Every structure is written in C-alpha cells, then in structure tokens.
Amino acid sequence: METKVLIIGSGAAGYSAAIYAARANLEPIVVTGMQPGGQLTITTDVENYPGFALIQGPELMEQMRIHAENVGAKVIDDHIKNVKEYNKSRFKSTGNISDYYSDAIIIAAGAQAKWLGLESEKKFQGYGVSACATCDGAFFRNKVVAVVGGGNTAVEEAIFLTRFAEKVILIHRRDVLRAEKVMQDRLFNNNKIEIIWNHVVEEILGTENPKKVTSMVIKSIITRSLQEIKVDGVFIAIGHAPNTAIFKSLVEIDDQGYIITKPGTTLTSKDGVFAAGDVQDKVYRQAVVAAGTGCMAALDAEKFLESKDS
Ligand code: NDP
C-alpha cells in the first residue's frame, strides 16, 4: 500500500494525527497495532478528556476512530513489525498483512503495562494475575484481590475493583502514593480498600489443578520480614513502557526507551519520521497530551512533505 503519511498506532495520538492529516488531504493510513484504540480501551471512566465530563475509554476511542474515518483516514487492523528507509526519505513498513510505502511516518505506537518480572507472576497470568482490571475485574466477584502500585493506574484499578471484589488490598512499595490527590481521597474513603505500605511482592502462590492464585508473599522494605496474604487475584499496575523496540535502528531513543524529539516539535532524529503520544512522552502521559502531540505530528509532517515537493 502507498500513502503520503503512514500513522503507526491507533491511540489518541494516532487518531488525532489521522484527523489532521486527512483534513490536509494527505490521505493517511492508520495501522492500528495489536491493541486497536490503545491504552484507553483498557480503562473505564475517563473524566479528564475535554468535552466529555464522563465517558468510557473504549467509547472515546471508538468515537476517535469514526471521526478519523469520517474525514478520510484509512484505518487498517494490522501490526507493523519492521520499518526501513529504503530510498532517500521513502519508508517501507512491514506489517502482518501488507507492506506500506510512505513519504513520512508518524510513530504513535504508545506504551504498554510493565510487569514485576517474577516467574510466578508469569505462571499465573490469565489465571488470577492481570494488568487490566477493566478486562478481568468481573472474574473476582466477592473475592479478595490485590493491586500492586501507587500511581493513578493502581488507585483507579483498586477503586474499580471494589465494584466486584469483597476486599481490595493495595500494596505499595513506599508510604506515599504518586496518584493525583483527588484519586487518593477516593481511595482512602473507600471502606472496601486496605492499603499495605512499604511492601513489595516476593511471590505469587497458587494451585495447579485448577490453576489459580490462592495467596501472595509480600516483603516489608523496612523490616525485610515476609508475610503471606490470602488473595484470589493480583493486579499489577506499576506503570508502562513505550513500544519503541522496532524503531531503535530508525530513530534516536533515550535510555528508558522513549523516542527523542526536538523540543517543542514531534521531529525525530530521522527526516520524515515524527513521534507523538506515549512513545515520546514520559512526563505527562495523558490522552489529551497524546492527542495534542498527534495534531503536532500531522502539522509537522505536512510541512515536511511541502518542503520535499517544492
Ligand atoms: P506511574 O509510573 O505513575 O506509577 C507507577 C507506580 O508503580 C508507582 O507508584 C511506582 O512506585 C510503582 N512501581 C513501579 N515499579 C514497581 C515495582 N517494580 N514494584 C513495585 N512498585 C512499582 O504509572 P501509572 O500507570 O500509574 O500512570 C502512568 C501515567 O498515566 C501517569 O501520568 C498517570 O497520571 C496517568 N494515568 C492517568 C489516569 C487518569 O487520569 N484517569 C489513569 C491512569 C493513569 P513509586 O511511586 O515508588 O515510584
């Protein structure tokens, strides 16, 4: 497939870039990636996206897709595995179902959940261990679940899980949360939630037949003592990592894996390649910021293509 602008990723950054690029007659193609709609599709209530006092994440992303398609963007459910510059400022992106040739690329591939890295966490993934309360919360009706982390995601997931679970235990490695104050207030006021401060997860334990989580071992970072607590599920909510592995040989990336952009722009180290959203943002990581940088990337790409034509 041929296009002037290929947009890799379909979160708030990708769709906003698509809307602007389509309205500039650049006939963009959006390749959605493995998680069409991005991270907002695995969240529930969104209360901070301007214009929507309250909307569900998946609904917001569906609206963005419809909006992008309505103004002329082509959205393809494919996953890009490799991107190469094959001629001067022509790019070939290889997907699972097609190759895409473009004059410019907007990388908006987002970020994904981080895991603790325990063997037992991996073993019980899908059998009581999850990184998505929205997806799996309903399996824990009247059960006891733990949430690990102290950021907005952990707090949001803990509160959400109280809709189903009998008790939610938030386990955090420090004695202060990183989450916004308003979220903390909601957490502290929820009597289904218990907080265990200054503890990390040592092990997740369970049975083989049926395969399920039954408890976890946590360690105090102050006394180093171990404690086993009974839980039916463990939700890991310790942050995200940018999806930039396939772009490492194309553009400059920092030591945490984020694409480096020229300050105040979406320009990367490679002419014709622009980056928007969580692949290049380790500070704000908000949908509205991703949407803003998506818009910037489309405008930057438009300017680049104009200068190439003239
Ligand atoms: P954050 O990076 O903000 O928080 C990660 C949390 O996990 C921190 O509390 C951190 O602890 C803890 N942590 C990290 N690694 C480990 C580990 N190995 N073991 C134990 N704990 C660990 O990530 P979030 O996903 O919470 O949020 C990402 C961004 O998305 C933020 O900007 C957030 O504001 C935003 N967001 C906004 C939402 C909303 O507005 N509705 C909802 C969800 C996210 P420590 O604090 O000690 O570093």
Residues 102 and 134 both lie in one domain: no
Name the domain count of the chain.
2
Residues 6+ apart with CB under 8 A from 260: 251, 252, 253, 254, 268, 269, 280
Distance 242 CA to ligand 1 centre (A): 14
- How do residues 295-304 score in pLDDT, each as one tens digit? 999 999 999 9
pLDDT of residue 280: 97
Q: Is 264 exposed, middle or buried (0-12, 13-18, 19+ CB in 10 A)?
A: exposed
* Residue type at 185 in one-letter notation: D
Mark which of 237, 258, 290 sits at the end of a domain: 237
The tokens of 218 are what? Answer: 């946590």
pLDDT of residue 134: 79
Residues 121 and 217 both lie in one domain: yes
- How do residues 205-246 score in pLDDT, each as one tens digit? 999 999 999 999 999 999 999 999 999 999 999 988 999 999
CA distance linking residue 152 with residue 55, whole number of Å? 17
Q: Is 142 exposed, middle or buried (0-12, 13-18, 19+ CB in 10 A)?
A: exposed
- Most informative mutation of 173, 180, 181, 288 for ligand 1 (most atoms within 8 A of CB): 173
Rounded to 5 degrees, φ, ψ at 121 are: -65, -45
Determine the 3-state secondary structure of 60 from DSSP: helix
CA distance linking residue 233 with residue 144, whole number of Å? 7
CA distance linking residue 167 with residue 84, whole number of Å? 50
Q: Please name the residue that has the structure tokens 């790019």.
A: 91
Mark which of 192, 221, 237 sits at the end of a domain: 237
pLDDT of residue 249: 95
pLDDT of residue 136: 83
Residues 75 and 7 both lie in one domain: yes
Distance 151 CA to ligand 1 centre (A): 3
Query: Which residue's CA lies nearest to atom 22 of ligand 1?
Result: 238
Residues 256 and 144 both lie in one domain: no
Mark which of 237, 257, 282 sits at the end of a domain: 237
Q: Does residue 168 have a pLDDT over 90?
A: yes
Confidence of residue 256 (pLDDT cuts 50, 70, 90): confident
Strand partners, 167: 144
Q: Is 136 a catalytic residue?
A: yes
Q: Is 45 a catalytic residue?
A: no
Q: What CATH code is carried by the domain that includes residue 195?
A: 3.50.50.60
Contact 37, 58 (CB under 8 A): yes
Q: Does residue 135 have a pLDDT over 80?
A: no
Distance 127 CA to ligand 1 centre (A): 23
Q: What is the pTM of this model?
A: 0.75
Residues 182 and 97 both lie in one domain: no
Pocket of ligand 1 (CB under 6 A): 48, 116, 148-154, 156, 173-174, 178, 200, 238-240, 285
